[in-house]
Structure 1
Amino acid sequence: MPGILNTHVVCPPCRSAFKRPSGTGARCVRCGGDMIDAGPQLAVPSRRDTDGWRALAAVLSAGVRFPAVGCEADGPGYRPRTMREVRDRVALAERTGRPLTELLTNPDPWS
């Protein structure tokens, strides 16, 4: 169907991700749990990248999603790739009172 955008659905505990038509629910083929609709612009870590998946799970649990905005050539945008980056941004949010979602999507949160 033209006009339907595929989106990434992910299961962080199983480190699995698939593309599905937007708006359709999905169950994980490994654990049977609900998968998270992360948006079409997500850069999925490799299955072996345990730290990357832990960081992605933290970002998704904070409510960050990766929608298609404007031209899809814009790419996925920034997200922390390691738990250390996530912890640094969480600490900064607690110290400064800035929204965590803003700090998790900003490549230079100290600016």
Structure 2
Amino acid sequence: MPGIRSTHFVCPPCRTALKRPVGQPGPPPPCAHCGHPMTDAGPQLAVPPRRDADGWAALAAVLEAGLRFPAIGCEADGPGYRPRTMREVEERRTAAHRTGRPVAEMLATRDPWDEDGPAHAPA
């Protein structure tokens, strides 16, 4: 894909990220801090600042749910929505629980309580 030349590898517990060329063969690189394999989050990830503990916790929850940020279509489309705080993560987990929808789907939903969306407002 034109313009997408690298992907983000992250280690949420250490709050570290690095970029590697897309499609580079081999296993994920190890984290320089803890030595565990880093997670390929995709080229469209907006990495939180290292000092943003809440942002990294939210990113960890998103990645644990299986969401990634691949380059799809035009780069101008952007990576799509993801919660930036644990409060937003918890709101979406609650919506998933109440509606029976998958957590990953709700984590990718900008407004889980939008009446036009997949969930309805809480009582």
Q: TM-score if structure 1 supplies the norm length?
A: 0.92
- What is the letter of the counterpart of residue 71 of structure 2? A
Q: Distance in 2 between matches of 1:22 and 1:35?
A: 15
Report how far residue 72 of structure 1 moved: 1.2
> Which residue does 1:89 correspond to in 2?
92
Q: Secondary structure at the match of 2:89?
A: helix
Runs of 4+ in 1 over 2 A off after TM superposition: 2-5
Count of aligned positions = 110
State the distance in 1 between where 2:6 and 2:93 align. 31
Backbone CA RMSD of aligned residues: 1.6
Quick one: higher RCO (CA 8 Å, sep 6+), 1 or 2? 1
| Structure 1 gap ranges (5+) | none
Partner SS for 1:32: coil
1:56 and 1:78 mapped to 2: Cα distance? 12
Q: Which moved more, 1:40-49 or 1:24-33?
A: 24-33
Partner of 1:79: 82
**Aligned residue runs from structure 1 range 6-85, under 5 A:** 6-24=6-24, 25-85=28-88
